[in-house]
A and B are shown apart, each in its own frame.
Chain A
Amino acid sequence: MKSTGRSLSARQVTLMILGYGIGGGILTLPSSAAAIFGASGWLAVFLIGLIYVGIAWVAGRLAEKFPEETIIEYSPRLLGKVIGLLFNLAFIAHLFLVLPVNIRILQELANISLLPGAPTWFVSGTYLLALAYGASREVDQIAQVNELLIEIAIFVGLFVALAALQHFEPIHLLPVFSKDQLHLDQLEQLLGLTFAFGSLPVVNMVIPYIRNPHQTTEATVKASFFIALIYTFFTVITMGVFGYKEAIDLSWVALELAKSVNFRAVILQRLDLVLIVSWISALYTTGLISFFLVGLALAQLVRVRNKAYIIWALVPFTYYLSASLKNYFIWTKWSVYVALLALVMNFFFYPLLYLLSLWKGKRHG
């Protein structure tokens, strides 16, 4: 990839990482955190977020080492052809598998509040077409759409969280890591918890489009820190309002938070609907960026010039997968697999690739 179309600012990259990371995961994150860590789930979310900030630094530095190429292009050189190819396939798979979960979450949210009884072919189908249409555009257009939508979603989400402060009780956040509340044996839940944090692939795919590649690490670390802060803030408010036991029992804990708040003013009387409508934007940015990255990565892997062909070709398969995630339990299990794959990428391959790039750089130097 040559640096012909360097149009993204550092701010847009930060927002793209936020846009990819903040989506459906945050709606269920406090519940998973409470199930594993009890009342100190909020602290666990913050600590996990900080670990991801560290990994974000590695991902950013790795991207800066190859400012002209995506990870798909340089990984075979670092890992060797066969392992590089396998890595690329796993990398693309982990980006792609986000899509069915993302579509399924939208389907459930639409059925819960907006269009009860609306069939999958209509809700998921329309949404998937909108995703494919958006993802087949150029990266600068995607960055602009993301910039607008994710800011609206975060603003509304923070408004709901702040409005819920009236029910906040600090005692719900204690005790810190009490052993009778810790359930670290719930491995699936623990993996699912990390699902919401896996937004680093963005930077290793869009680096050739960044105007000032040397700002990449800073933008990535900043985005990861924002994600950690937003998740922690949201989990603190949710657990402070509901307590950890009630939070465990709620499937869409963020929606329940919105249902707990009421303003006697026309549209704000149903804050849950306001949240859902705006959160569809956040879901869309996740799906949009994910689909774009899948199209871009596959196009580079199979050397197709126009990624749009690949994106549209993937639509039926994506629809089939999303339709096979028939209920809450199935898609949460699926998100665990995605999280597992993302964990391997983030904590094994990124550091490995970075070390290999340092080693090879030194050898050639």
Chain B
Amino acid sequence: MVRLVQTSSWRKKGLFGSLLLALVLTTAGCWQGRELNARAFVTAVAFDRPTAEDADPDEFLLSVQIPIPVKMGAEGGEGGGGGGEHPFVVFGTTAKMVRIGIRQLQRQIDRELFFGHTQLILINAEVAKTIGVDRLLDYFKRDFRVQRMAKIAIIDGVAREILNLQPPISQTPSAYLENLLSPQSGSALNYITDFGRFLVEHSEDGTEPVLPRLSMDGKTVQTGGAAVIKGGKFTGWLNNFETRSLNILLNQKISSNYVVTCPLHPGESIVVGVDGLSARHRLKESHGRTVYQISVRGKFETVEFSERHGPMDVFQDELEKVVSATVKAELEQTIRRAQELGADILGVGRHLQAFRPELWRRMKDDWGREFAAFPIEVEVRMEWAMTVRRFGG
């Protein structure tokens, strides 16, 4: 009897084992899997105006950058049979809808275009203004494979030219541009964002999104400045310093350098390195009206002097005042610019919605105009951290 039970148990285990083995053998691969060499990995996408003079205003030129793996192995793209040519190719087509453009491109490429590794989406400012960012990005926000961490930038010039750029330091072109647009570039003059953050800012009431600007300067690409997007379309630029101030106002954790006048020696300049910045936003009542107050705190170090003296204890208070005033003036300029554009890039409306919902309900339908006249105060206090290596000149 015992033997019979054991046999039955072994038979069951054997049956289960066979079933499991069959499953493992049949499901270990991918369903409808594609070999890597059957896919064209799109690392960057660009949108421009079509080159033809009589082009339909609704049409855009869609360009995609595809790396050539065999040419990406060595420095400058010269290894692996590259022979000094670019380690990537750029294809382009004209279309009214992104997916139709991709279908057109697919006719030129023998591999399936794959957007799961797309790191960059570049949009020409003119296209962003006329067609709008919304329509261009619609396909990308619906495709499950597209990552929310992809970088987006508005191009002051022809976006396709940037795709054709060979990076000065050995790396893939899209990685080079992605690094330029990320905090690691360290300039603090470009706005730090990505596709996911853009979608969040764009969907919210009471705040407008901003995208970084890229421009071509001869044969190099430059960051600096930002594009304000209102109602899904490009509205205007922020210059380099306005963008830096926006980063401070939005707590982007940047560090940067400012040139200020020496408080003891008029005409002399001191470069200060600013760090540890934090901005606190709050709504307060003042003289019967609601005021949006932004308090900025931070630290600075003196990093360079134009004349033959170094940090001195005697001008600590004065230097702190000068640096605070310089930072404040720049922040106020950014706020003025945002109000000129009628685009709430600071998120004032979002604060009203969160903390004064009644007031927000009254203002939200015409928020663009309300924001332009909304009282915003900035208060800045910078402290000299005084880590000194050398006192004299």
Q: What is A's interface to B at a CB cutoff of 8 Å?
A: 39, 112-113, 115-118, 122, 126, 133, 167, 171, 174-175, 178, 180, 241-243, 245-246, 249, 256, 259-260, 262
Q: B32 — nearest CB in chain A belongs to which residue?
A: A117
B357 interface hit (Cβ, 8 Å): yes
**Size class of B's contact patch?**
20 to 34
Contact flags (1/0) for B290-321 with A, using CB distance below 8 Å? 00000000000000000000000000000000
| Closest CB in chain A relative to B114 CB, distance in Å | 11
Which residues of chain B have C-beta atoms less than 8 A from A245's C-beta? 203-205
Which residues of chain B from 305 to 358 have a CB within 8 Å of any chain A CB? Answer: 347, 350-351, 353-355, 357
Contact flags (1/0) for B11-48 with A, using CB distance below 8 Å? 00000100000010001001110000000000000000
Could you list 8 examples of A-B contacts with CB < 8 Å? A112-B144, A122-B31, A174-B353, A175-B353, A241-B200, A242-B200, A259-B149, A259-B196
Bound-state CA distance A178–B358 (Å) is: 9
Q: Which of B23, B196, B347 neighbours the largest number of chain A CB atoms within 10 Å of its CB?
A: B196
Bound-state CA distance A243–B353 (Å) is: 12
Bound-state CA distance A117–B145 (Å) is: 14
The reply to whether A116 and B32 contact each other, CB–CB distance below 8 Å, is yes
Q: Which of A39, A118, A260 neighbours the largest number of chain B CB atoms within 10 Å of its CB?
A: A260
Bound-state CA distance A171–B205 (Å) is: 12
Q: What is B's interface to A at a CB cutoff of 8 Å?
A: 16, 23, 27, 30-32, 144, 147-149, 196-197, 199-200, 203-205, 347, 350-351, 353-355, 357, 361
Given A171-B350, A259-B147: A118 in contact with B204 (beta carbons within 8 A): no
The reply to whether B203 and A243 contact each other, CB–CB distance below 8 Å, is yes
| Closest CB in chain A relative to B144 CB, distance in Å | 5
- 15 further A-B contacts with Cβ under 8 Å, apart from A174-B355, A256-B148, A259-B148, are A115-B30, A115-B32, A167-B196, A171-B347, A175-B355, A175-B357, A180-B361, A242-B200, A245-B203, A245-B204, A246-B199, A246-B200, A246-B204, A249-B203, A256-B196
Q: B29 — nearest CB in chain A belongs to which residue?
A: A115
Q: A39 — nearest CB in chain B belongs to which residue?
A: B354
| Closest CB in chain A relative to B312 CB, distance in Å | 40
Bound-state CA distance A245–B199 (Å) is: 10
The reply to whether A115 and B31 contact each other, CB–CB distance below 8 Å, is yes
The 5 A-B residue pairs with the shortest CB-CB distance in the complex, in nearest-first order? A174-B354, A118-B31, A117-B32, A115-B31, A246-B203
Bound-state CA distance A225–B27 (Å) is: 38
Q: In the complex, which of the residues B32, B144, B199, B361 contacts A118, with contact meaning CB atoms closer than 8 Å?
A: B32
Which residues of chain B have C-beta atoms less than 8 A from A246's C-beta? 199-200, 203-204
